[in-house]
Amino acid sequence: QKGGFEHFMLKEIHEEPRAVRDTMAAYIKDDIQDLVKNLPDLSKYNEIHIVSCGSAMYAGMIAKSLIETKARVKVDVEIASEYRYKDPILSKDTLVLLVSQSGETADTLAALLLAKEQGIDTFAIVNVVGSSIAREAKYVAYTLAGPEIAVATTKAYCTQVALLSLIALNLAYIHNRITQKEIDQIIEEIHCLPDILNELLKDEQYITAGKIISRHSNVFFLGRGLDYALSMEGSLKLKEISYIHSEAYAAGELKHGTISLIEKGTPVIAICTDERLFEKTISNIKEVKARGANVILFVREGLNVSEDYYDYKIEIPKVDMMLQGIVTVVPLQLLSYQVANLRGCEIDQPRNLAKSVTVE
Q: Which residues bind ligand F6R (CB under 6 A)?
A: 53-56, 100-102, 105, 108, 152-153, 236-237, 240, 356-357
Q: Per DSSP, what are the bridge partners of residue 95?
A: 48, 121
**DSSP state letter for 357:** -
Q: Can you spell out the DSSP letters for 168-198? A: HHHHHHHTT-S-HHHHHHHHHHHHHHHHHHH
Q: Which residue is nearest to ligand F6R (CB)?
A: 54
Angle at 126 between CA 120 and CA 132, to 5 degrees: 70
Q: Which of 2, 74, 138, 355 is catalytic?
A: 355
Q: Residue 250 CB, nearest distance to ligand F6R (Å)?
A: 20
Cα(6)–Cα(279) distance, rounded to whole angstroms? Answer: 40
Q: Residue 106 CB, nearest distance to ligand F6R (Å)?
A: 9
Q: Residue 101 CB, nearest distance to ligand F6R (Å)?
A: 3
Could you give the maximum distance between any two Cα atoms of the chain, in Å?
Answer: 57
Question: Whose Cβ is closer to ligand F6R: residue 297's or residue 347's?
Answer: 347
Cα(355)–Cα(147) distance, rounded to whole angstroms? Answer: 12
Question: Whose Cβ is closer to ligand F6R: residue 65's or residue 101's?
Answer: 101
Question: Whose Cβ is closer to ligand F6R: residue 107's or residue 274's?
Answer: 107
Q: Residue 240 CB, nearest distance to ligand F6R (Å)?
A: 6
Q: Per DSSP, what are the bridge partners of residue 216?
A: none
- Cβ neighbours of residue 137 closer than 8 Å, sequence gap 6 or more: 98, 112, 116, 122, 123, 124, 126
Query: Is residue 155 among the annotated active site residues?
Result: no
Question: Whose Cβ is closer to ligand F6R: residue 101's or residue 159's?
Answer: 101
222 membership: H or E segment, kind and range: strand 218-223
Catalytic residues: 355
